[in-house]
Structure 1
Amino acid sequence: MRNALRLLNLFSIDEPELTLSEIAERLQIAQSTAHRLSSTLTHTGFLVKEPILKTYRPASSILSMGTTFLSKYELYQVSEPILEELTKKTGETAHVSVLKGNKVVYLYKIDSKHPVHLLSHAGKENPIHCTSSGQVILAFQSQKQINEVIKQGLPLYTTKTITSPPDFISRLESIQKQGFAISQEELHKGVTSIAAPIWNTEGNVIASVSIAGPTTRMTPLKVDRFVKLVKAAASSITKKSNNLLHF
C-alpha cells in the first residue's frame, strides 16, 4: 500500500509517463513487484497503460485525489472480496463509491455475468442526487453539505429524477431512518440500484456499497433480499476496514 502511494508520487508534469523498469528503479523494487503493483493500480482505475509505448500514467480520475489516495486504496483492498461475494449472491454489478465534491465516484466495480451497460468503471463520476450510492452517503452528511448539493442544482435525467429540493430532503431523511437507498430509474431508464453506507471508526459515513441491475430483474421479492445483502456487505466492509477509513 505504501509502495502504491510512492508509485503515484513518481509522476509529475515533467515526467507524466514512466516505463516499468523506470518505476522499479525509482522505487528500488524488483521489476516483477513493480509489474504486479502497476497491474493492480491499472486494474482498479488508478493508472492507465499505454499499449504502444508500454508506459504507465495516472488516470484522470485520481489526479484530484491527492493525499486521500492511500486510504482509498486500502478501502479497495478491504472491499474486493466482499464485493465479489455480493455479486455472486445477487447476480448484479456491485460498486464501492465515495463522494468527490458534488459527484459520487466509483472507487471499485465488480461486473456480474450480465452487467448493466452503464459505462461505469473505477473513477467514473455520477450525480449524487439521482444515484442510490450518492444519496446514501449524502443522507448522513452535514446539512451544510446537503444544502451545497441542492444549491448546485438537481438536474432532470429521467421522469423519475427528484428535482424538488423539499422532496429531495424528504428522501434523504427516509434514507437516514431506514439505513439504505433505492434509486429506481432516477439516473437511467430501466435501471434500479440499491446502496448502503460504509462507516468509519469515528461514526461518519465515508463510502457506500451498491448494486445495479435492470428494473425488470429487481422484483419486489428480490429487492427485499438484495437490501439485506447490500447492508450486510456494507457492514462487513465497515468492520474489516477498522481504522483504515479516515478520509
Structure 2
Amino acid sequence: MRDQRDSSLSNALRVLKIFSMDKPELGITEIAGILQISKSTVHRLLSTMTSEGFVYKDPITNLYSLGTSVLSLTNIVRTQIPFLKESTPILNLLTEKTGETSHLGILERKHIIYLEKIECEFPVQLHTHLGKRHPIHSTSTGQIILAFQNEGYIHSLLPKELDRYTPRTITSHYELLEKLDVIRSQYYVICDQEFLEGIIAVGVPVFNEKDQVIAAISIAGPVHRMKDKLKNPKFLEDIKLAGQKISEMIKERKKKGI
C-alpha cells in the first residue's frame, strides 16, 4: 500500500514538472504519453490535484494548467532564498546601465534554473523563463558556474553527449574544459550564440562567504547590440560589479547571521 502511495506521489510531482512556459496547457493523452503511464492513472492524479488547486481544468477545452496552489508555493520558495530579494535592485540597475536583459541563475541538479529576470526596454525572445531548466554546457550561467567547480564534479554534471543547440554549441568535453580554464582565469564568460542563434550572453560568478560559486549573473541580447557594447570596457565592468555586489551582500549577511 505504501509503495502505491509513493508511486502516486512521484507521478503527481512528475505531472507538475512537465508544465512549462512553452507548454502551459496539456491534455490527459499528452501527459500520459510524456510520462509513459496509463491515461486512467493520469485522470485519477489530475482529479486529485484539481481538487487541491494544484492544477486547473478548462471546462471548454478540457486541457489542464497549473493552479493557484503552485503559485503560493512559488512565492514561499522565493522568500526562502535569502539573497534573491536584495539581488533584484542590483539586477534592475544592471539592466538600466547595459540596456539588456539580466538574469540571476543557480545550479539545480544538472541544469540551470533562473530565479530572477529583468527585461530590458527592447527585449528579444530568450526562452529564459523563471524556473525553466536550461543546459549547463551551452549557457553563460552554466559555464561560469561549472568553471569554478572541481573537475570530478564537473564530469558528474555533464552528460556523456553534449547536445547541440546551434552550430556554435560546444559538443566536445575537451573543448568545453579548455574554455572553462579560460573562464576561471578571467572571471567572466562570453557565450556567442552557443545556446540560441542570434543571441550573445555574458556571465559572471556570484560567491558565498566560503568563496564558492553558488550562482551567476548574466546579460543577454541580440548579436548586433551586444557586439557593439562589448567593445566598451565599461559594459563588462558593470556586469562584473553587479556580481561582486551580490557576492559582498551574501558575505555580509553571513557575518550578521541573517
Q: Is the 8 A contact 1:95 1:209 kept in 2?
A: yes
Query: Aligned pair 1:182/2:190, yes or no?
Result: yes
Q: SS of 1:218's equivalent? A: helix
Task: State the alpha-carbon separation in 2 of the partners of residues 192 and 204 from structure 1.
Answer: 26
What is the TM-score normalised by the length of structure 1? 0.71
> What per-residue deviation string (whole Å, max 9, x for no partner) do you get for residues 121-162 of structure 1?
211211110111110011111212210233343111111100
- Higher Cα Rg: structure 1 or 2? 2
Q: Is the 8 A contact 1:116 1:212 kept in 2?
A: no
Verify: 1:231 aligned to 2:222, yes or no. Answer: no
Equivalent residue for 1:57?
Answer: 69
Partner of 2:99: 91
Question: Structure 1 pair 96/49, CA: closer, same or farther in 2 (3 Å)?
Answer: farther
State the Cα distance separating 1:220 from its structure 2 match.
5.1
Whether contact under 8 Å (1:49, 1:57) holds in the other structure is: no
Distance, in Å, in 2 between the alignment partners of 1:244 and 1:13 is 38
Match of 1:119 in 2: 127
Is the counterpart of residue 222 in structure 1 residue 258 in structure 2?
Answer: no
The CA distance in 2 between the partners of 1:98 and 1:71, in whole Å, is 14
2:156 is paired with a residue whose SS is helix
**Structure with higher RCO (Cα < 8 A, 6+ apart):** 1
1:30 match = none
Q: Residue by residue, what CA displacement relative to the aligned partner does 1:66-91 show, whole Å, maximum 9, x if unpaired? A: 9x86552x221121000000000000
| 1:17/1:217 CA distance change after superposition, 3 Å | same
Q: Tell me the SS of whatever aligns to 2:96.
A: helix
Q: Aligned with 1:219: secondary structure?
A: helix
Quote the RMSD (CA, aligned, Å).
3.2
Of 201, 205, 208, the match for 1:200: 208
| SS of residue in 2 equivalent to 1:105 | strand
The code of the aligned residue for 2:213 comes to V
Supply the distance in 2 between the matched residues of 1:49 and 1:88 (Cα, whole angstroms).
Answer: 37
Residue type matched to 1:178 in 2? Answer: Q
**2:135 & 2:228 partners in 1: Cα distance?**
25
Does structure 2 conserve the Cα–Cα contact (< 8 Å) formed by 1:78 and 1:241?
no
Counterpart for residue 175 of structure 2 = 167
Structure 1 unpaired stretches of 5+: 1-11, 19-47
* Deviation by residue 1:71-128 (Cα, 9 ceiling, x = unmatched): 52x2211210000000000000000000012211111000001112123221121111
The 3-state SS of whatever aligns with 1:151 is coil
